[in-house]
Amino acid sequence: MINRAGGLTAQAYPEGIRFVRVQDGVGRVNINLPRALSDKNSSHNVILQPEDSIFVPEYQPTVKVLGAVNAPGSLLWRRGANLDYYISGAGGLAANADGGHVSVRYANGDARTRTRWLFVSSKPTPGPGSEVFVPVKPPGEKTSVVALLGGIAQILTSVVTILVVTRR
């Protein structure tokens, strides 16, 4: 269909394609448009149904950073830059930020969330036209590590004091 329509313009961003199938409530379908255009036998060349919609956005060389950061806004996309680069460029995490659940919504509508578990983490890499969202920590969800260590130190000090006094 795209070839029949005259192909893509120079400003088009094929990686940002949004293909939506209304029939049977399917919704958004991930299509690799560059692969579909280069290989006519690719599984990404789908047969169109009535009410399907295809939107190919204009290339946006920016990454928008929103949510619990100190200076929300857009930064120029940089090849190879990771999630932390964009968060840092937006002034870093705010005091109430939930840095463990940062999500990236790509130009094509796909979304990935940073996950951390013990010493393992995965960080989605933003692409052109992406949005990075840093959520706010839910109130009272976690105990501060510093506060916890301070409480343990107070208990240990009390125990040592009691042992010294009882041995005299």
Q: Which two tokens stand for residue 68?
A: 């619990």
113: enclosing H helix or E strand? strand 111-113
What DSSP state is assigned to residue 130? -
Determine the pLDDT at residue 32: 93
**SS3 assignment, position 20:** strand
pLDDT tens digits, residue range 4-28?
889 999 999 999 999 999 999 999 9
| pLDDT at residue 142 tops 70 | no
Structure tokens at 70: 């100190």
Tens digit of each residue's pLDDT (9 = 90 or more) over 106-137: 999 999 998 877 677 788 999 999 999 999 99
* Class at the top of the CATH hierarchy for domain 62-134: alpha beta
**Residue 65 pLDDT > 70:** yes
pLDDT at 80 over 70: yes
Find all residues with CB under 8 Å of 48, minimum gap 6, and list them: 1
Return the domain boundaries, the chain: 14-55, 62-134
Give residue 159's identity as a one-letter amino acid code: V
pLDDT at 147: 76
